[in-house]
Structure 1
Amino acid sequence: MSVRKAVERYLRRRRADATESSVKAWKYRLKLFTEWTEGIGIEAVGELRPYDIDEYFDLRSGRVAPATLESEMWTLKTFLRYLEEQLDAVEDDLSDAVRIPDLDAEDRSDDTTLRSEDAFALLDHYRDDETVRARRSHAFLELAWYTGARQGGLRALDVRDVHVNEEYIEFRHRPDTGTPLKNKIHGERPIALPSAVMDVLAEYIRKERHDVTDEYGRQPLLTSSKGRPTNNTVRNWSYMATQPCLHSACPHGKNRGTCDWRAYTHASKCPSSRSPHKIRTGSITWQLNRGLPPEVVAERVNASVSVIEDHYDWATQEERWRRRRDRMESRRQYVDQLDLEENDDE
């Protein structure tokens, strides 16, 4: 079996238990590996040897960032393990030859995030200015910040998923009608929200939401005049909603009235605007700083604790110190129980 055919077979198998976006990412990474093997004359997967895998690592390590290299090597390792265990098409333990770079957290993550002070400056502006309160940008930012949800999850919300009286929203996996969640059924969850956030969502639905349905007859929560937005549209809304000139003077010396970055198609060029992913990163860091246990935050944002620690937690050293101090104080009652003088068993 050629490497190209093996990759095609592997991706077909993975489509059954992965999202389309994940499969696309794996396809691209393995395409690079396939083209490299063809370029050096490897005609079948059975010809692959540990030396080849090591050579490929050296090649890619000189061309991509450490975090990208890590992702590529994990994809390659999983692919080779499939060939070993499912097809018996390569020599045993070939996947062990794949080196996974040992990265620091700084190498894995991008620290460009929506800081909590910037988020609340924006939210205060939206909540206090009647001309923009409860409009789509406001509703989007309230949802994105207080849930820490992924872009696809925000896009997937329907009006029926907002439970105003009970003060929670729920994310549902609905692949048959165009809104799968990244982790599929495991991504389904209710998220409790503060009363102030629910008040904004209720006001948005009542006054500002376009009364439209999508192609499946569902009522999207966040809407354009045409129905449910695409992922790219949600990203553009995010850039527009997070520009600091909405509430303060431009930190980049621009005039708001003439700035090209205020245009819908150029908002991403503003150095201070943020994508949904950057809002998610800032929200997760803030939730942890507020004292929510990592496992609680992980459940709310649908990610593992280890992924949060490696990719989303961008707390400063001072913020981390405060967390440790607060945890120590909260556990003082247990430490007191260790005092020998208070031991009633003796």
Structure 2
Amino acid sequence: MNATPPHDAKNRYLKDKSTEVTDSTLANYKTTLNIFCDWLGDRGILFLNTLTSDDIQQFKEWRGEGVKTITLKTDMTCIKGFVRFCEHINAVPDGLHMMVRVPKPNHEDEVASSILSRNEATAILAYLDKHEYASLRHVMFLLLWKTGMRRSALYALDVDDFDGGPKPHLRLRHRPHEGTPLKNKHRGERDVRISSETAAVISDFLKWNHPGAEDEYGRTALIMSSQGNRCEPSTIQRNIYTVTRPCHYTGECPLGRDFSECEATSYNTASKCPASVGPHALRRGYVTESLNAGQPKDVTADRVDMSLEVLDKHYDHATKSQKMERREDYLIDI
């Protein structure tokens, strides 16, 4: 076996995976493996040819003390793939990856609970229509709620991807070499129909509030700040946390907090509000409410670029009663 330092193997692994996964996934791999390699260094393991299954198990136990089970599962899955790669480059004993134990969270641990309801979304949209009409934040929230698209897909949209004609729609395209990849790459490309009402808001935004600037690729982002820059995913995140705080769209705090003492009242601290949610909660809400309204699962899955398995497990938060109601129209008495 080769005497390979952990961080050297990590860098080779990340380079090998860079053509297979998205930038965000690669960044997650890097974070996990940096933690793992630093831990090995602290333990005096300077070369991977001395790595044992017991070392990996001790890392798992140490890591498990500070993170949730679902996070530990993600971390150990990453490390298992890394160890398999290390076998390939003759840095660790053959078969070592088979000794990596990946935890199996229960269903409740795996399914995120954050979701925006239809009633909440309706109230937020009513507020935006009245007080922030055709603003950048209005368009952000409207598109995420009405289409169920990912935050990264919203970030990738250009003005030219919007068609406000007789059949208004948005074109989602994978452009990795220009900084806007889609999560599922070319498989995630699709045209997404929107209502004429939604299209009208976008048109008014482009007419009155959009800077119209171009980036270095000659592209004009749809979601653009007043400074003329494509809004980063983190900016989208902060705006959604801001507008979903109940105090923002109702003027009242359901938690009974004093506004003058609340730490979540500013744009940069809105995520600290226990009642606010991020963009992914809108995606879950869209999927659940669409299914409750009778939209077929395969139509919903195609629209949001999601497998049926993932939809069922992670995104459909309907109650048992709601699921019974969905089946009602299809039942036949025999």
- What TM-score bracket applies, with the shorter chain setting the length? 0.7 to 0.9
Deviations along 1:107-154, one digit per CA (max 9) or x if unpaired, are 023312222210111123334x2x432222221111011121221211
Residue 262 of structure 1: how far off its partner (Å): 4.4
Q: Which residue of 2 aligns with 1:344?
A: none
Contact 1:60–1:69 under 8 Å retained in 2:
yes
Query: What's the offset of the Cα at 1:82?
Result: 2.0
Structure with the greater alpha carbon radius of gyration: 1
Deviation at residue 20 of structure 1 after TM alignment: 2.1
In structure 2, the CA distance between the partners of 1:294 and 1:96, relative to structure 1 (3 Å rule), is farther
Q: Which residue of 1 aligns with 2:183?
A: 182
Identity %: 34
**Higher alpha-carbon deviation: 67-76 or 201-210:** 201-210
Question: In the aligned structure 1, how far is the partner of 2:64 from the partner of 2:269?
Answer: 33
Taking a change above 3 Å as real, the CA distance of residues 253 and 302 of structure 1, as seen in their structure-2 partners, is same
Name the TM-score, length of structure 1 as normaliser.
Answer: 0.84
Deviation at 1:76, TM superposition (A): 0.9
Q: Which amino acid aligns with 1:167?
A: P
1:212/1:225 contact within 8 Å kept: no
The aligned counterpart of 1:23 is: 26
Between 305-314 and 64-73, report the one with greater CA deviation: 305-314
> Any conservation in 1 of the 2:243–2:249 contact (CA below 8 Å)?
no
Cα drift, residue 289 of structure 1: 2.6
Aligned twin of 1:341 = none
* SS at structure 2 position matched to 1:330: coil
Indicate if the aligned counterparts of 2:210 and 2:226 stay in contact, CA closer than 8 A.
no
Corresponding position: 1:92 with 2:94 = yes
Verify: 1:144 aligned to 2:144, yes or no.
yes
2:134 corresponds to = 134
Give the letter aligned to residue 96 of structure 2. L
- The residue aligned with 2:242 is 240
Aligned positions of 1:161-310 closer than 5 A: 161-165=161-165, 166-227=167-228, 228-250=230-252, 251-253=254-256, 261-310=264-313
Report deviation, 1:160: 0.9
* C-alpha contact (below 8 Å) 1:144/1:276 kept by paired residues: yes
1:158, CA displacement in angstroms?
Answer: 0.9
Q: Tell me, yes or no, if the aligned pair for 1:148 and 1:284 is still in contact at 8 Å.
A: yes
Q: Find the counterpart in structure 1 of residue 82 from structure 2.
A: 79
Q: Aligned equivalents of 2:17 and 2:269: distance in 1?
A: 37
Q: Please give the alpha-carbon distance, in whole angstroms, between the structure 1 residues aligned to 2:90 and 2:57.
A: 21
Whole-Å separation in 2 of the counterparts to 1:288 and 1:54: 42
Q: Which runs of 5+ in 1 are unaligned?
A: 337-346
Distance apart, 1:192 and its partner CA: 1.5
Which amino acid in the other structure matches residue 247 of structure 2? C
C-alpha distance in structure 1 between counterparts of 2:51 and 2:263, whole Å: 52
CA distance in structure 2 between the partners assigned to 1:111 and 1:221 by the alignment: 30
Give, in whole Å, the separation in 1 of the partners of 2:81 and 2:311: 22
Sort the Cα spacing of 1:56 and 1:295 in 2 relative to 1 into closer, same or farther, 3 A: farther
Match of 1:106 among 105, 108, 111: 108
Please give the alpha-carbon distance, in whole angstroms, between the structure 1 residues aligned to 2:289 and 2:142. Answer: 14
Letter of the aligned partner of 2:311 in structure 1? I
The amino acid of 2:146's aligned partner reads Y
Shift of 1:258: 9.6
Q: Which amino acid aligns with 1:136?
A: L
**1:4–1:191 distance in 2 versus 1, CA, 3 Å:** same
Deviations 1:311-336 (Å, cap 9, x if unpaired)? 3333333333334x34xx4263xx86
Gaps of 5+ in 2: none
- Code of the residue aligned with 1:123 in structure 2: it is L
Cα distance, 1:53 vs structure 2: 2.8
Distance in 1 between residues matched to 2:298 and 2:86, nearest whole Å: 35
**RMSD of the alignment, in Å?**
2.6
Instruction: Provide the TM-score with structure 2 as the length reference.
Output: 0.87
For residue 250 of structure 2, give the secondary structure of its aligned residue in structure 1: coil
